[in-house]
Structure 1
Amino acid sequence: MNPNFIRISLLLLTTDLCFGNIIDVRVYGTHGKNATFTTTIKPTSDPFFSVAWAVNGSFIITSTISNTIVEPKYADRTTLFRETGSMELRNLTNEDSGEYTVHIIPASGHLISGAAVLEVQHE
């Protein structure tokens, strides 16, 4: 795997119980480079009610229809793509290594969740 080009497909599944199954994906990133956490969700005409990304249980970015909150240490390094729930993290540091989770609530109200483990390495 080329650590300079990172695309993470989070295999996101839904159930009828409003609970998302989590599928883990391991990815390697390079210090100072970017990582894009790409979901498999296709854009729809109805906006998601909410999208929340966290690393090791601490929120990075939370976005609802009316508001987006970004943890200050990620403010200049994160872009959320609300149409798909994907997120880009720029200028990776060793502290960015960890388990990333995403929780998306679409207009249907059924929770969709995904997870990936990012390991940041030096070139």
Structure 2
Amino acid sequence: MTPDSTETKLREAMARLLVGKPQNCDGKLTKANLAREAKVSQATMYRAKNILAEWDSQVSDSTPRNAQVSRLEAELSRSKKRVRDLEQHNTELRRQVIAAATVIAELSARLDQPLSKSVTVLDSKR
């Protein structure tokens, strides 16, 4: 295998991995997957120092392995925020239910009291 064809294979594999469209591996941005994607041995890949330097400059720990993972992570983040918001709303509704139950209990207790204590009876013979 000539160095030019190896370099071409590695560049094409790198491009596919970076856009999230692998053909020969799981898509994780690792050097092992770069070799797999290019269908070259890791030893051959490691001899292409300029390609590895490009790889290292484009791939970092924060680089998502593909667009789908980025989209799913963003969706997960939005979903977690929605859950937090709904939990807060649920807590507020529970407080309102407790307050309403307290008012109902107080009103029920007042209804159970004899009327003579809370109501003045008027003489209807006047």
Instruction: Give the TM-score of the pair, scaled to structure 1.
Output: 0.21
- Structure with the bigger percentage of helix: 2
- Which structure has the bigger radius of gyration? 2
Which structure's residues are more often strand, by fraction? 1
- Higher relative contact order (CA closer than 8 Å, sequence separation 6+): 1
